[in-house]
Chains A and B, each alone.
Chain A
Amino acid sequence: MIAFDNVAYNYGGGELLSEVNLRLAPGSFHFLTGPSGAGKTTLLKLAYAELLPTAGHVTIFGNDVRSLGRNDVALTRRRIGVVHQDVQFLDHLPLAANVSLPLTVSGKQGNPRDLSDLLQWVGLGKLADALPPSLSGGERQRAALARAIIMGPDVILADEPTGNLDWEMSLRLLTLLAELNRMGKTILVATHDLNLIRQAKAQVAARVLRIRNRRIQLAGADL
């Protein structure tokens, strides 16, 4: 699905990531952890081509990101669902329109019943007409997850998806991600919340990666 080969990324003030090698196999579940500023968000941005590596190769669905034109990047992102901690919506559109935005921009006509089912699944069935500014942090995260999966993507990338949520809501979101993984989706979650990772290991067979000293490594038994 997504592969990093000796990837480095330099912000200009020094190297943030170096010699990163990673394979996200179909149906896998990975956690990416590490201290703040370690480069988790940068690695995720490299994985959906918002950033280009300064060295090495990032391959998404078999294509080197450097070979992708702007339209190719857009088409690639339709196969990747992204959930950010500071998720952004179109504030003038109701929740249902925001969630179905990937369908809209792809020129696809979504089934209203499917949309309704999806909103029910993430627990937002009664908020279809609500405007994003009126949603709580947990509701926004679940809405972001719904938007990320409405196109039936092959890969879901989540950057600190539980960062603004209480423990109960974090577990709920984790359960949704585990369900998606059981449906065959490839999932990569960047988080610094080790308790969440421990909790997840009880639900899914997740590999835990850690960024340390600019490099990525498999986390050991300390988790």
Chain B
Amino acid sequence: MSSTTKASRIGEELWKTRVDKVNAELVTLTYGTIVAQLCQDYDGNYQEVNKQLEKMGYNIGMRLIEDFLAKSNIGRCANFRETADMISKVGFRIFLNIAPTVTNWTSDNNQFSLVFDENPLADFVELPDDGRAQDELWFSNILCGVLRGALEMVQMQIEAHFVSDVLRGDDATEMRVSLVRYIEDEMPPEEE
């Protein structure tokens, strides 16, 4: 497990030295207003809100990876387990100052869970008491998109979704991440 501790150390160090900071509440509330706006725009269709959040996250992830690589100066991961450590201990540390626990690996090492003790995005949040939101809305779904977008840019196609959330009354917030495939380099389509 030394690669995990190494990743932790890298993450901590980067957070302390290379990351420009901003008040956490500003970020929390800004994210809250984004979700609130989506809920309003989609008229309480929470499935659609989840989808939009994921899409926003995807857009962010595709650009965020560059910032991640520039700051961390980390090379290619040897395997998906190492990737998981980097996501949790370095990625989440740099951008949200947390390090969700990597756990519940499948035996083929292609699927793991991130368990969030802390989630700054959801700090001031209570879901609407409308009898549906707690069953349908994944408040932090943007994070799934961020992972998908970021990893796609480094040749990994993944699928990520939340399986539980304390906002829904669950005891933990857990995201499931599965590796679909490594994307081979492809020649760009021939131009006319």
Report whether chain A binds chain B. Answer: no
Query: Which A positions have Cβ atoms within 8 angstroms of B?
Result: none
Query: Which B positions have Cβ atoms within 8 angstroms of A?
Result: none
